[in-house]
């Protein structure tokens, strides 16, 4: 064998040996779920990389699922649950290359039951503990509570999380991270609570002092419907969830088509009247279609933010619910039927 050939062989052996020594940056996660019904899947994201999906754990075939993740960076990743077509944040977990993580969860009590085994068991359970207390606070303020009471509860939860970190000997960097995230969550929660309190204050207030424009540029006032219950759909042409709800709204309209006690109204908050008008015409949308715009008194009064939004008024124009059930929720039809039946509709 000549000299060049020997060199090539040696290089090939060296390269092959290096490849054998390099471990692929994969991590294993195994999820065990109990009482699984509506929970379709769990999704792990890398928020810092444009919400890249690291893995999707699906429960359509088994209640115990194992999967691999290509983990290039050792850091905290986001976990979201996916149930009935809706996604919600479940928490966070630390993952590194070549780690093996076990996760157990009970669908009946997602946040309370979430526990970890395997790699990074202690820090991941600490992250889950913090998220559990955040979820408890979110549930407490769902309908609004006094701001001073909320401040006290936030302080109590923060103290519990801090004590838990000390008892587990959590490293300072993770303790600091959890505290900063809890403070961010608390600030947002206070803002949400203020909105909940405001919405609650609207109940029994007159909520029909607003006028809008129809597709023919005619002025239409909510007062024109005095004597009828009003179920108001607030939407926009760019809102995908609004379009999903529209199919159910049409079913609702059909169900009450012979009822003169209930008026269903769709009010758009699109920025441009022409764009809304064109969309309504192009899609041959029926029913009472009105235009509000983004900065109207109606939008400000009801504090319209996320869409779609549904509002329910009584026959005198008073607010029954400033944030009513969606048409896709089967409970809405039962609620409306019950109210109208009591008031003489059969």
pLDDT tens per residue, range 278-318? 999 999 998 999 999 999 999 999 999 889 999 999 999 99
What's the pLDDT score for residue 343? Answer: 63
Bridge partners (DSSP) of residue 221 are: 211
253: left (phi over 0), alpha (psi -120 to 50) or beta: alpha
- Which residues on neighbouring strands pair with residue 288, listed in sequence order? 265
Burial of residue 326 (number of CB atoms within 10 Å: 0-12, 13-18, 19+) = middle
Burial of 161 (0-12, 13-18, 19+ CB in 10 A): buried
Contacts for 131 with CB less than 8 Å, ≥ 6 apart: 90, 91, 92, 111, 114
Tens of pLDDT along 48-106?
999 999 999 999 888 899 999 999 889 999 999 998 778 899 999 999 999 999 999 99
Q: What is the pLDDT of residues 230-257, one digit of tens each?
A: 999 999 999 999 999 999 999 999 999 8
Write the pLDDT tens digit of every residue in 190-223.
999 999 999 999 999 999 999 999 999 999 999 9
Residue 312 three-state SS: strand
Residue 10 is predicted with a pLDDT of 40
Mean pLDDT score of the chain: 90
For residues 4 and 330, what is the distance between their CA atoms, to the nearest angstrom? Answer: 78
Find the Cα–Cα–Cα–Cα dihedral 253, 254, 258, 263, rounded to 10°. 0
Most confidently modeled range among 12-26, 135-149, 331-345: 135-149
């Amino acid at each position: 064998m000549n000299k060049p050939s020997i060199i090539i062989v040696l290089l090939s052996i060296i390269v092959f040996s290096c490849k054998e020594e390099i471990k692929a940056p994969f991590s294993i996660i195994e999820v065990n779920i109990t009482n699984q019904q509506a929970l379709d899947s769990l999704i792990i994201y890398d928020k810092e990389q444009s919400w890249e999906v690291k893995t999707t754990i699906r429960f359509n075939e088994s209640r115990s699922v194992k999967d691999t993740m290509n983990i290039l960076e050792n850091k905290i990743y986001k976990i979201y649950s996916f149930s009935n077509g809706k996604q919600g944040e479940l928490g966070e977990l630390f993952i590194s290359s070549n780690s093996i993580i076990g996760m157990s969860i009970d669908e009946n009590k997602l946040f309370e039951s979430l526990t970890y085994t395997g790699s990074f068991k202690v820090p991941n359970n600490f992250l889950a503990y913090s998220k559990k207390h955040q979820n408890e606070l979110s549930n407490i303020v769902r309908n609004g509570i006094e701001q001073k009471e909320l401040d006290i509860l936030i302080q109590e939860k923060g103290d519990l999380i801090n004590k838990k970190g000390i008892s587990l000997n959590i490293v300072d960097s993770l303790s600091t991270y959890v505290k900063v995230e809890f403070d961010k969550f608390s600030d947002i929660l206070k803002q949400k609570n203020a909105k909940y309190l405001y919405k609650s204050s609207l109940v029994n207030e007159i909520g029909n002092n607003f006028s809008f424009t129809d597709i023919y540029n005619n002025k239409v006032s909510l007062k024109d419907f005095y004597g009828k219950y009003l179920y108001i759909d607030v939407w926009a042409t760019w809102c995908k969830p609004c379009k999903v709800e529209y199919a159910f709204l049409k079913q609702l309209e059909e169900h009450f088509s012979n009822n003169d006690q209930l008026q269903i109204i769709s009010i758009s908050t699109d920025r441009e009247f022409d764009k809304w008008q064109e969309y309504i015409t192009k899609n041959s949308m029926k029913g009472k279609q009105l235009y509000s715009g983004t900065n109207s008194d109606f939008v400000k009064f009801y504090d319209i933010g996320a869409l779609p939004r549904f509002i329910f008024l009584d026959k005198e124009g008073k607010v029954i619910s400033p944030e009513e059930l969606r048409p896709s929720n089967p409970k809405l039809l039962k609620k409306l039927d019950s109210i109208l039946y009591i008031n003489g509709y059969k």
